[in-house]
Structure 1
Amino acid sequence: MFLRIDKLQYDLPEAKEQDPNAAAAIQELMGGRFGEMSTLMNYMTQSFNFRGKKELRPYYDLISNIAAEELGHIELVSAAINSLLAGPDTKAKEKPVDPSTSPLSGFLGAQNLQHFIAGGPGTLIQDSRGMPWTGDNVFSSGNLVLDLLHNYFLESGARNNKLRVYEMVKDPVGKALTGYLLVRGGVHQVAYAKALELVTGVEMTKMMPVPHIDTSKIPESKKLMDQNIHLKLYRMSPSDYNDMGEIWKGPHPDDGQEVYVTDELPNGGETKDSGHSSATFAPEYDMDELKEMAAHLMKKGGIKPE
């Protein structure tokens, strides 16, 4: 089962400007072959299908726990996409508009028109081409070495794409997102390398980092590495997954510091609200009517508004 906390895993800044094309690029980190939906569903499915949960407990714990962290990553990617689609001035979009004046025509040059036609505007479970994410991206063979090797490859491909998206986006929210994911994805990449080393004896960490770019050269990542975020494997449970420390131990291949499992959760940040958008009637065309109904329901339920 899962416990959900109404916070983002990382405190993202607000977007400085509305940038639908940057949002379209970041969609690759959501629904691309190497995006967060793929890492989430690969590890989740492997945890469901894991054979030998008792005998191979540290490996089961590692895959299951990383899957839980990935749930927070898709939420974080979505928050960045929505922030870029909404822009900083969300209040201006609340004013009623006349649909006959083509209020959305200014977005005809956007890379992904579905953000505005189907999304409201909002995140879609698609890649940067607008192609829907598919379960064909999930690999779960039942063979421990093969699954771990795939996961190492998956995290390496994800790191490659995060670096490229980082080089594309200019807004602070996109930079902060990719900087954070490079650090946390790096933890998962190293974790699977260490797991493969234990089970096969092959020194996988000697290949790292893949791609061979020092993460500390990314300013948004270095800030987190200075806080030792790259050394921590968060236990995403109040009492379970206690054996993954048998794998997540020893030196980090980047700087030689000792890695460790922690029961603390990420500091996180507030969830984002893109605000009411009259032009896309989201959440409804007349926001005042919705507010009136909500106030009536709260009064009836004896709830005092905040």
Structure 2
Amino acid sequence: MSHSNETIFTNPSTFILLGIPGLEAAHVWISIPFSIIYAIALFGNFAILFIVKTEPSLHEPMFYFLCMLAVTDLVLSTTTLPKMLSIFWFSSREIDFSACLTQLYFISCYIVMESGVFVAMAFDRYVAICDPLRHSIFLTKHKVAKIGLVAALRGSILVMPYPILARQRPYCRTNIIPHTYCEHMAVVKLACTDISISSYYGLFVLLSVHGLDVIFIAISYAQILRAIFSLPTKDARLKTFGTCSSHFCAILAFYIPMIFTSLIHRFGKNVPLHFHILTANIYLLVPPMLNPIIYGVRTKQIRGRLLWLFTHKRS
């Protein structure tokens, strides 16, 4: 679908997602690792949810937060990958205007929610290691549910202006989005009016949410490391650090690609477009795959339960 540059249409009926410009010939090949990543993410996160639900010994705050993380990962990957694969396999590039804004909202919302879950998990590890006697008092099931609700509401409310502002803008340049999904700024940049409000608000969300979350997590882990190094024996230090190592690895897998992608988006003007889009896809798809692997390998209770399930089925 094409539109004249002189025509202003406040609500275009559809947008066109190009996929990865410059790598169209390799779309089918790129879809193979993406499909594998998605399959692993689905299996791993559903496995986490099933194991925690069916194992009463795992009904603890850390594993409840892990279930929240698994749900956000499932929504993030499912919001983006099916449409992405339809572009790669069937050249189905059209996406309805409302569907595009819905995808934009869910991606941005659940990224904020996932960041909030990581903060909650850092707080859980801080209390468990630095004040273990009060852990059960601070983090009851009721309080864990409240923390999860706050994380969900924070993401839902803060991101709500994204699609509202995008819907109100007139679009007169083009309806072609050089991306595999409806990324917030990629959509807003198609408007033919001043987009400074959307741009500044997006920067505000980035700094006030992810920036503050990273600071809070860093402070928590500084206190955790100080408590660990004050333990009398090496074995005690290693055992205590092992209880939070999986969470630390998951944090790195989430925030490092996010920071890298944000830097490229804002300062990498000479970076090829296809590289920018690939990194944006990796940022959304790889953490949902890695998180269940990290927790499955590093968390003794989940690893043991998973091995028991496989050996029990075979016997």
**Normalised by the shorter chain, which TM-score bucket?**
0.3 to 0.5
Q: When the two structures are superposed, what TM-score results if normalisation uses the length of structure 2?
A: 0.35
Q: When the two structures are superposed, what TM-score results if normalisation uses the length of structure 1?
A: 0.35
Considering fraction of residues, name the structure with more helix. Answer: 2
